Amino acid sequence: MNTHALSGSERIEVTLKNLIDLSKPAAALDLQQVKIRAVQSGNYVSHLKGRGMAFDETRLYQPGDDVRRIDWRVTARTDKPHCKVFKEERERPVFISVDYRAAMLFATRGVFKSVQAARFAGLLAWSALRRGDRIGGQIFSEAGCLELKPQTGKTALLHFFNALVKPVYNGQTVNGLGHVLSRLQHHAHPGSQVFILSDFRGMDVAAERYLADLGRHCDVILVQIVDPLETQLPVKGRYRFTDSMRDALVDSGDKRFLHDYQTRFQSRQQHLQQLCRKTGLRWLSCATTLQPLDVVLLLRGKYFANSIA
């Protein structure tokens, strides 16, 4: 879907129609991975982290069972040793976290950062549906967090899309990215593929620690949504910006201000990329003026060049 074909309102708010219309371009995607670390039955032979197992039932202990799987609660209750039985998961959980904080409700060109994040998330969700993966997500703003348990099928897809259009938050105030990522740790189970779509403003030591912990058990991809103005100020001149409540006047002819502005952004970029290299996470940038499909295809080419058909 071309950003130029979007109406004025569609550039600043997410609509269900636009998310559903992403079905056709999503058909070009295949984000399966082939870097092999462990073999498991089902759709994937991949580098997914974690055991890749789901609890099935509890039964009486049998000779040869792994003692680490003893269900101590049932054993204590029945006075007979019981073991947990696991089955291999045949679908990979894909967990998509989308940032709707105030800083994402902004753009100077293209679409709002929040809209771009939602469109990117829509493509990922359609791709996951076509592969038979389970689709789950997290949507967050200053007003709270909303987590959706990974499920399969079109019902899960539409549930996620409706949440992107009209999120119903839990009412608990979000205190920075660290709070959001700590919640994400509890909802994205080991072995999940996790996409985090954000501008990553407000990263601190706590947030970085939670990201590193998440990356030990999940395949984590950070998609940084940026507006062209963040990378470079306009040509020499004085520009007024407003959010309808506050005004800011920027003089891009001030060389010192211009240098400090660009240095701060570049420093944030470099720090985020260094964090990814250090913790084994993946990173890419998506501008508000780009087609999300082009960026997702770049993601596939960069990380999944040998994807299985």
Is 39 among the domain residues?
no
| Nearest residue to 279 (alpha-carbon basis) of 224, 223, 214 | 214
Cβ atoms 54, 87 nearer than 8 A: yes
- Number of folded domains in the chain? 2
HEC string of 166-214 equals CCCCCCCCCCHHHHHHHHHHHHCCCCCEEEEEECCCCCCHHHHHHHHHH
Q: Is residue 43 part of a domain?
A: no
Q: What is the pLDDT along the chain (309 residues), one digit of tens a residue?
A: 555 567 778 889 999 999 999 998 888 775 544 333 333 333 433 444 544 566 678 889 887 777 888 999 999 999 999 988 766 555 689 999 999 999 999 988 999 999 999 999 999 999 999 988 999 999 999 999 999 999 999 999 999 999 999 999 987 888 889 999 999 988 998 889 999 999 999 999 999 999 999 998 899 999 999 999 888 887 777 878 776 788 888 887 788 888 888 888 888 889 999 999 999 999 999 999 999 888 888 776 655 443 322
Q: What is the 3-state secondary structure (H, E, C) of 110-169?
A: CCCHHHHHHHHHHHHHHHHHHHCCEEEEEEEECCEEEEEEEECHHHHHHHHHHHHHCCCC
Residues 6 or more apart whose CB falls under 8 angstroms from that of 45 comprise 34, 36, 39
Looking up residue 20, the CATH number of its domain turns out to be 3.40.50.410
The Cα 34–Cα 37 span in angstroms is: 9
Q: DSSP letter at 70?
A: B
Residue 41 lies in a domain: no
> Tens digits of per-residue pLDDT, 88-109?
555 689 999 999 999 999 988 9
Q: Give yes or no: residues 200 and 57 share one domain.
A: no
Rounded Cα gap, residues 137 and 149, in angstroms: 7
276 & 229 share domain: yes
Domain with 253 in it: 3-34+90-303
Cβ contacts of 295 within 8 Å, gap of 6 or more: 120, 223, 284, 286
Write out the two tokens for 52: 């890749």
| 144: in domain | yes
Chain center to CA of 160: 13
How confident is the model over 205-241, as pLDDT tens digits? 999 999 999 998 899 999 999 999 888 887 777 878 7
186/82 same-domain check: no
